Structure 1
Amino acid sequence: MMPSIDVRNISGDTVGSADLDEAIFGIEPNLAVMHQVVTAQLAAKRAGTQSTKTRAEVRGGGAKPWKQKGTGRARQGSIRAPQWRGGGVALGPKPRSYAQKTPKKMIKLALRSALSDRFASERIIVLDSWGLDAPKTKTARVALETLGASGRVVAVVARDDVNTTKSLANLQHVHVVQPGELNTYDVLVSDWLVFTTDTLPSSAPAATEEGAA
């Protein structure tokens, strides 16, 4: 049986129902895949700009500090060797990319698993529309409170719905994304997902981006 969900307006009233794509909202969540995809997503966010200088890059140290033999001290070739104060760093970090290659099918499965988990937990709200004719942060905040969407909220807003995007952008606990930007990490760290009927994910169109279902 195809899963369905109530469609509500910003006043909290139920105005209908919407059928959900069973391939997206009705599967058994794959925890291992979700973990791997989220790990890769967080790794890709790392800057990887940390850097230390080797003995070849540290300024100075061109002259041999003392002659090779006859001083009674250990032989040294440069005061910029790693054992010297101010010397280079042996095996220190260098700039690198932390990005991990993740198959597209795995990314899609992880997102569908996360959405199915949120649906099973009754943490998804579907609106008929936001219906904002101008940017109104107060109206958006009151609407979320009326709908019971507390904590961290991910709102999936249509690309051309500028008024809603601007209205929600000033709310610190709300993360606004477009349908193609929805991803596994954002779904899993959110307390509530808020869609409109025209931004509900569907497996019918081809996925062209990491977050697309």
Structure 2
Amino acid sequence: MATATKLEVLDAKGQKAGSVDLPESIFAAETNVPLIHQVVTAQLAAARQGTHKTKNRGERSGSGVKPFKQKGTGRARQGSVRMPQHRGGGIVHGPVPRDYSQRTPKKMIAAALIGLLSDRTRANRLHVVDSFGIENKPSTKAARDYLAQVAPGNRVLVVIAREDEVTALSVRNLPFVHVLFQDQLNAYDVVVSDDLVFTKAAFDAFVASRAAKEDTK
């Protein structure tokens, strides 16, 4: 079993309210940059719709009759106004619908995420908060002020538990914040964020899920 280090848990006022263990298997792993690049590229490729399509000459509307006679005009011979060189004609070698997704093994996806989390931890860009101090009613202003105090980065990834609806509603309209549930955490959203802010409930759930997966190996 890997050893663990500690990370402070901040309360609603930004003060220390305890600590959590950081398992080395998750937060002190080697950061493999080529692997991260491959996983992030595959994730972006899978998000592409691939519905692009252009019409070839057979799909363009227009007459198939020769636009002018074959000989005697001094011009190059033409067979149809739907040919690519004519305005409104077909497109040559244009894009067609395709699937951009790449097969990426689950172990590679997990290793890329763990490597990124470890990198953010070493850079002191990982934060765990007890709560945002927002009770019952969502408040975007309160969430903005709290994040400005806790996470100094320009782009912040907030990771919350599934049942934390108040926090989700409070941060979702902040332009510099992206919010995810702990089971949605992925390499792309981590790599494009400067700071990661976990609520303690989300952090505990994420670490527990990772430990359960390691136990099943």
* In structure 1, C-alpha distance between the alignment counterparts of 2:11 and 2:79, rounded to whole Å: 77
Instruction: Give the RMSD, CA atoms, in angstroms.
Output: 1.9
Change over 3 Å in CA distance of 1:71–1:10 after alignment to 2: same
TM-score by length of 1: 0.88
The secondary structure found in structure 2 opposite 1:94 is: coil
Contact 1:3 1:26 in 2 (8 A): no
Question: What is the correspondence of 1:82-93 to structure 2 with a 5 Å cutoff?
Answer: 82-93=84-95
Deviation track 1:90-148 (CA, whole Å, cap 9, x = no partner) reads 11112223222211111111111110110011101111233422212222122112224
Deviation track 1:52-101 (CA, whole Å, cap 9, x = no partner) reads 11000111132133455666654432221122232111111122232222
* In structure 1, C-alpha distance between the alignment counterparts of 2:189 and 2:49, rounded to whole Å: 19
- The aligned counterpart of 2:184 is 181
Is 1:80 aligned to residue 87 of structure 2? no
Higher normalized helix content (fraction of residues): 2
The secondary structure found in structure 1 opposite 2:201 is: coil
Contact 2:127 2:151 in 1 (8 A): no
Contact 2:140 2:171 in 1 (8 A): yes
The secondary structure found in structure 2 opposite 1:155 is: strand
- The aligned counterpart of 2:62 is 60
- The one-letter code matched in structure 2 to 1:53 is K
- The one-letter code matched in structure 2 to 1:159 is R
Question: What is the correspondence of 1:26-175 to structure 2 with a 5 Å cutoff?
Answer: 26-68=28-70, 73-133=75-135, 134-175=137-178
Greater Cα shift, 28-37 or 61-70: 61-70
Query: How far 1:12 sits from its partner (Å)?
Result: 1.1
| % same residue | 51
The secondary structure found in structure 2 opposite 1:185 is: helix
Deviation track 1:146-185 (CA, whole Å, cap 9, x = no partner) reads 2243411101011111111111112111111000111111
How many pairs align?
207
* In structure 2, C-alpha distance between the alignment counterparts of 1:128 and 1:73, rounded to whole Å: 79
Change over 3 Å in CA distance of 1:2–1:59 after alignment to 2: same
Contact 2:151 2:197 in 1 (8 A): no
Query: How far 1:37 sits from its partner (Å)?
Result: 0.8
TM-score by length of 2: 0.87
- The aligned counterpart of 1:16 is 18
Query: How far 1:14 sits from its partner (Å)?
Result: 0.8
- The aligned counterpart of 1:195 is 198
Deviation track 1:25-64 (CA, whole Å, cap 9, x = no partner) reads 1101011110001111122222333321100011113213
* In structure 2, C-alpha distance between the alignment counterparts of 1:146 and 1:40, rounded to whole Å: 35
- The one-letter code matched in structure 2 to 1:166 is L
* In structure 2, C-alpha distance between the alignment counterparts of 1:13 and 1:194, rounded to whole Å: 15
User: Higher relative contact order by CA 8 Å / sep ≥ 6: 1 or 2?
Assistant: 1
